[in-house]
Chain A
Amino acid sequence: MKIDTKIGSKVKSFTRDYSIVLALIVLMIAITMADSRFLRVSNLMNILLQTSTVAIVALGQALLLITGQLDLSLGQNVCLSGFISAYFMEMLELGPWLSLVIGILVAMLVGLINGLLTTIIGIPPFITTLGMQLVCQGCAKLITSTKTIAPLDKSIKVIGRGFVFDTIPVSVVLMIVLYALMAFMMKRTRMGRYYYEIGGNPEAAYFAGINVKLYRILAFVIAGFFAGVSACVLISRLDSANIANGTGYEFEAMIGAVLGGVSQSGGKGKIFAAMFGVMFSVALFNGMTLLNVNPFVQDVFKGGILLFAMGVDAIRTKQAV
């Protein structure tokens, strides 16, 4: 009897935390019924690939949301750090892998600046990262006068276009590994616990002796790291660094995280749910494209879904109080 209720409550909490998975399945069935091309292997693979780059960015966005912050510069950070890597690789002919590392470091630097401006200076994250968005974009344009850098060194092809066992894309494996690491970090390390508690009540976290500022800055740096990693995957997949890379990623990452149940009010959210959230929105727009929905309508939808998800979260938060 006792075991039964335990399993029952586990199932209950799973369906609560991962209701996005159910929604994803329903969505996939619905699109398939409308157009069976959706289920083709090539299309599904496409969805997974697209998911991987956004979902890696969503890791950072989810972490920031959990700590009660957000980063609107992540998309342009992906663009900038991709450019930096490509520039070092092709223009300065530095080693391709070293160039990628430099790109990631720049992305982390951008995160660090975001963190310092919000935490030490005290500009709200929304404004800080909105400004940083433009700064990143401007820097990326300055480097190359908006010219695309392509093709890139062959050796990095494996990240974006390689396969494990000739079937699973390397980038998808990378995404899952990063999610697993992050989920483990959030559940089983002190840092993860601190992040949830800081998001839940930053003042109480301070009075429990947690260095709230430090952890908040670190969250921005981690988010920058994931943006950098996503940039590596993206330029490798596209074999180019383009000014349009990463555009809108911050929003898609936020849609994914919030759809996955990460609360915008902080302190709540399961990491893996964010990945399914991203997958949901990628699948949705993939389906719309298949069904020849006007791309402008899709944009309206994209914004609408973000507002819808935020609205649901806000109502849920209100009820909890």
Chain B
Amino acid sequence: MNDIAIQLEHITKTFPGVKALDDVSIQIQRGTVHALVGENGAGKSTLIKILSGIYQPDAGDIYINGKKKKFKVPVEAQRAGISVVHQEFKLSETLTVTENIFLGNLIYTKAKLVNWKEMRKRAEKMISDLQVELDPDTIVQTLSVAKKQIVEICKSISREASIIIMDEPSATLTERELEVLFGIVRTLRDSGYTIIYISHRMDEIFGLADNISVLRDGCHVATMPVAEVTRDKLITLMVGRELENEFIKHNCSISDEVILEAKKVSRAGVLQDIDLQLRKGEVLGIAGLVGAGRTELARALLGIDKIDSGEVLYKGQPVKWNFRTAIKNGLGLVPEDRKRFGLSLQSTVKNNITLTAIDKVLEWGLLNLRKEYKYAEWYVEKLRVVTPSVETKVMNLSGGNQQKVVIAKWLMADSEIMILDEPTRGVDVGAKRELYGIIKDLIEQGKTVIVISSEMPELLSICDRIVVMSRGRLVGEFAHGEGTQEKILSLCV
């Protein structure tokens, strides 16, 4: 009994219309990395929110280190030693690393003054214990995403947390930064911390976790040691059905026509002499680390950012367009941060889908609402968006379905070239497959696709060609089947 850090018993939580958690009982052993997996909407976030005191369960009990606890507010969970490293960091960007670590938890001198010396010393120790490099005096703003995450982890440690929940910590990290994170997680585990690790990436779960709990539709499906489960078995448990291992790359021939071309495109500080040809009907992958200039390249091609030198050619003609003219000419962007840039969350599925191509439902200058409704329904059906109706607000949809809505938007706009920036981030396994299927369909309809992704297996399997970016330059190119993760990675760094 003593080695159980968290024991959940019969936890049930209902939201209006949805049973988010249904009689969930899980035991988490102290000093282990416990992976929590499940498709989007399976109930992982709800469970985390209950553990961290944001939500209160309708029924069921929580035992922390054998003691029954009831968290009415997040502070009580913190006091019980539970700390969450959220996907979106809660850091004060303009303060230093040390200040952030001890924010709200300051150390005082005997005279009741803030003891900066002591805090800096402790921060330094914490960072060196984690075996990472980070200057405690750096302003957080200037740090990379990976480093910011380390600050968040230090913050948890400084609050004397014994249980650290990491909510998709890897989603925004590149492969190399991941290694560092794994190192940190292992170090923490070995020094007695209990880690609850949420991720969609199979590689990580199998490389890192000791035990796995699977949630599906709010129910606890299984908990087992990682050694006792295979990847396929795990996916089956998560989705509740066998996923056929279909061939996800399309079979169409690529034309010789160069539809979009960059010639010596440069933008101070982010892009340098980019030469790139996109052929009609291909899936072009852009690999690289975060900050390598992938998104910036897309923005330059789309006219969102001005380029300093070089030119962009569309169908052989040099273009000097802004984003709106690019859209009119048939380009579309599924942005990385879909909730911020891709969707209006409080708006309906219908309004989101039809927004870009609203002119299609205009009749004598007025919106034909019936026609609009039909269009929206057609795309919802076509992309198999799971939603009660097209009048449902997008914020009530799961990540994968939200992503489909963004894609539907560009489909309706008849985009010939679609640029997908990290299309499967935060999307569960089942929906991922569907998105790959959608990309395949796009190609079969004669469209051209650029995929920017940090997930190399994804690029390797769906792309006709992968170019690699590093520090604002194109540093390599692989045809389908030529590249391997190792080859690409060696070019990235």
Report A's interface with B, CB cutoff 8 A.
Answer: 187-190, 193-194, 196-197, 200-201, 203-211, 267-268, 320-321
Contact = CB atoms under 8 A, between A and B. Distances in A.
Given A200-B347, A203-B340, A320-B346, A193 B324 contact: no
10 contacts: A189-B365, A193-B367, A196-B347, A205-B355, A207-B323, A207-B335, A209-B323, A209-B327, A267-B346, A321-B395
B240 to A, nearest CB: 30
Contacts of B95: none
Nearest to B410: A208
Interface string B420-434: 000000000000000
Given A193-B355, A196-B351, A204 B344 contact: yes
B257 interface: no
A208 B355 CA distance: 7
Contact of A207 (B328, B342, B345, B367): B342
Contacts, number: 67
Chain A to chain B: the 8 pairs with minimum beta-carbon distance, closest first: A200-B344, A201-B344, A209-B327, A208-B356, A208-B355, A207-B341, A188-B366, A200-B347
Interface residues of B, number: 27
Nearest to B340: A203
A209 B345 contact: no
Interface in B9-55: none
Interface of B: 323-324, 327-328, 333, 335, 340-347, 351, 355-356, 358-359, 362, 365-367, 369, 395, 409, 413
A204 B359 contact: no
B307 to A, nearest CB: 19
A194 B362 CA distance: 13
B97 to A, nearest CB: 29
A268 B346 contact: yes
Contact of B358 (A187, A193, A267, A320): A193
Contacts of A203: 340-341
Given A194-B358, A207-B333, A211-B324, 9 more contacts: A193-B355, A197-B344, A204-B342, A204-B343, A205-B355, A206-B341, A209-B324, A210-B355, A320-B395
Contacts of A321: 395
Q: Which of A187, A200, A205, A206 has the most CB of B within 10 A?
A: A200
Contacts of B369: 188
A315 to B, nearest CB: 15
Contacts of A205: 344, 355
Contacts of B359: 190
A44 to B, nearest CB: 36
Given A203-B341, A209-B356, A320-B346, A197 B366 contact: no
Contact of B345 (A189, A196, A201, A268): A201
Nearest to A185: B366
Contacts of A187: 367
